[in-house]
Every structure is written in C-alpha cells, then in structure tokens.
Amino acid sequence: MLHNIDTENIEARGEAMAKAVTACVHCGFCLPACPTYQELGSEMDSPRGRILLMKSVLEGELQPDQAAEHIDRCLGCVACVTHCPSGVEYGDLISSYRDHMRQTGNRPWSLRDWLAGQTLPYRTRFRLAVTVGRLTRPLQRLVPKSLRPMLELVPDSLPEREELPEYTPAVGRRRGQVALLAGCAQQVIAPDINASAIRVLSRCGYDVVVPQGQGCCGALSWHTGNGPAAQRFASRLAKTIPSDIDCFVTTAAGCGSAIAEYSLLMEGHADKDAAARLAAKTKDISVFLAELDELPEIPALRRPLKFAYQDACHLAHAQGVRRPPRALLEAIPGLQIAELRDRDTCCGSAGTYNIEQPEIAKNLGRRKAEDIVATGASAVVTGNIGCLVQIEKHLNSLTDRVAVLHTVQVLDRAIREILN
C-alpha cells in the first residue's frame, strides 16, 4: 500500500502512481532504452530502479532526499514506455511523483523551477533574460558554476518580435477552422515555425485563429513537478481557445504531450472538463496535416536534397507519433529522408534538463549531433523547439553545413519553392 497520498488534491495522481508502480515487473526491457542508464550504467538511474525508489519513498521506507538525485536525473523522455511490455505509464508516475514531493514539502526550489515557472512561459521576461544572458556571457567565469550551462545555451541573437495575426483566412476552398497554440519560448526563439504553420494551414483551406492571451500550456511546470502552476496555465488556455474549432493545433511536441495529460493534471480542478475537451481536440501539426485527404501542390525540388529526421521524444514516445512527419517530408518530390542510427534516444534537451544536468545533456547532445553528421544530410528536421535548440548548439561545434528545421518549416518552404 502506498502511504502519504491521502490529500484530496493529489488523490487521483496517487492512484496513477500506484497503478504505474504495481504494473512494473522489473523485466529490464527499459534499460537499453533509457538515456541515463546508457550514460551512467546505474540501476538506480534506470526506469525500473527509479520506480523502486519512488515506491520506497511513498511507502515510507526511504527518505525523499535519498532518492532525489536519481529521480532528478530522469529526462522524462518516456522512451521506457515505448519499450515496456507491461504497459507501465511511467510518464504519469514521474510527473505525479515530482508534484507530490513538492506539495508535501520534499522537493526544494531549484533553477529549473525559476525557468519553468517564472521565465520561459512569459515571452517578455524570457526575451529580457536572453538579453541579460548575452551581456553576461563574456563574464562567464565570474558567474556561479550552476548558472554557466544556462549561459552556454543563450543564442547569439534573437529574431525580431513577431506578433501572429489573430485571424488568417483560408486560401482557396475552405475546409474549416483551426486554432494554433502560439506557445511561449518558441515564439521568442523561432517565430518562423508558427508563421510557417499558419501559411501551410491556410493553404490547406483552413481559417487559422491565434487567440490572444492564451499563454503557456503548462508543459514546463507539469513536467518539472509544479502541478498548481501547470493547472493555472492549463485553466487559462482552456478558457481562451474557442470551442467552435475543428482542431487545436500544436507545433511543439512537449506542449502537445502536456495537453494530452490534462485529464490527470486537472483532476479535481473546476476547469477539468473544459481542459479535457480541449485535449480531445488537440493534434500535433504533423498529425493534422497527414490526415488531410490532400495537401497543396508541392513542386519538385530544383535539385535533390537529403534531410535527416530526428524523433522528438514527446512526439514519438509520449504521443506515439512517428509516421506522420515522415509522410509529410516524403511528399516533397526530390527530398530523401535519412534515418538516424540511434533515433529513439533523447537529444538531452528535455525542457530545462540541459541546464539542470549539463554533463549528461552535453553527452547526449554531442552523440545526437554526431549521428546527424554521419548521415551526410544537409539539414535535420524535428518537431520540438527544445530539440531544435539543443541539436543546433551541438551541431555548431562540429559543422556549419547542417541546417536545423521544424517539419512545418520544411513543408512551407517546399510549397513556396524556397527550400533549395
């Protein structure tokens, strides 16, 4: 029996934790799939090891701080779920456990919490933080060691501010209306992703609405264990997105994954039903486009190109989306898709993980970049902003000949004949 799961606001998550813990038969199929086990070779840094640790803490046999180091090393990539023959919902377990530890006062405040809750979800604050980071980077040696990994991720420059239009009409035959998640960090770092999404959706015959004031979806807070903050973000989003849409489209795998978990996250909250309805209408843009009976005409490339495709963990593992983005890329005449040698392993981004666990993240990022270069591709394509930033950082240390693009950017450029 699991103890310390008796408060009303975490009762449902306690049930999710108990279900995940008892489903694990410790078979070991998760071990080769786990990035931290690959890196560290430690049983306690594997999914089944962490499940035993969490079980021991929840049953009062182990103090939370005795397990914290190993739990914090988990990327939350849920590759273990893909390879688990017993169907253990490890994603539900790790997020719920982290939230439980916070609510019971056993999870101390960290830099990750500041980033996930107070900075990244707010575009103005995030832009200001990047600006300060760029100014501080020359003085890196004077900065506390714990902050240096964050400075290393600061981009050399940011695109100009780009406000998305609230309404973009369909081009040609109108099929319906969709809403687009603008996101937070992505709209600061790579606003062209959403701009590309709007152009492609419009060309496919859909009116596109981008409701103002929608804010963060709560992914960063939920995946780092701050349930109350994630609930506030989810509640706001559910109230902002109109109900008369055909689909709520996301362009970031982490966001789509978090929205899919709204039923668990919002258990007991007044806006649970509204959040669940929104989740039911949510699809990654690759899924939405791949399900259409036809796409806009895509001209053949002026010269053949080879691009590598990188599976974002929260798309491939958390949402089970692998084929749709590949199908869209294959629809471009003259584009060859190269597969990575170790496509199932995380790149090391994982939200704010590359700041909290820089050494593990650096090893994973470097390995991913080397795999990409080995394909001989001129670009790598993925479906999550965190992956884009992490991969670009490590690719830049190896070569300047590989572009890093989102799936919808490639499709948009191909349609407009500006891909070459």
Give the burial string for 304-328 (b: 16+ CB within 10 Å, else e).
ebebbbbbbbbbbbbbebbebbbeb
- Asked if 415 and 296 count as a contact pair (C-beta separation under 8 A), the reply is yes
Per the prediction, the chain carries an average pLDDT of 90
The whole-angstrom separation of Cα 32 and Cα 19 is 23
Q: Map out the domains of the chain as residue ranges.
A: 8-103, 305-415
Higher-pLDDT residue of 142, 75: 75
CATH code reported for the domain at 8-103: 1.10.1060.10
Percent of the chain residues past pLDDT 90, beyond the cut: 69
- Asked if 120 and 98 count as a contact pair (C-beta separation under 8 A), the reply is no
The whole-angstrom separation of Cα 176 and Cα 334 is 31
* Architecture field, domain 305-415: 3-Layer(aba) Sandwich (3.40)
Where residue 6 falls among pLDDT bands split at 50, 70, 90?
Answer: very low
Bridge partners (DSSP) of residue 247 are 178
Residues 221-267: pLDDT tens digits? 998 888 999 999 999 999 999 999 999 999 999 999 999 999 999 98
Q: Which residue has the tokens 């902003």?
A: 385
Q: Which residue has the tokens 């799936």?
A: 407
The whole-angstrom separation of Cα 311 and Cα 252 is 12
Where residue 281 falls among pLDDT bands split at 50, 70, 90?
Answer: very high
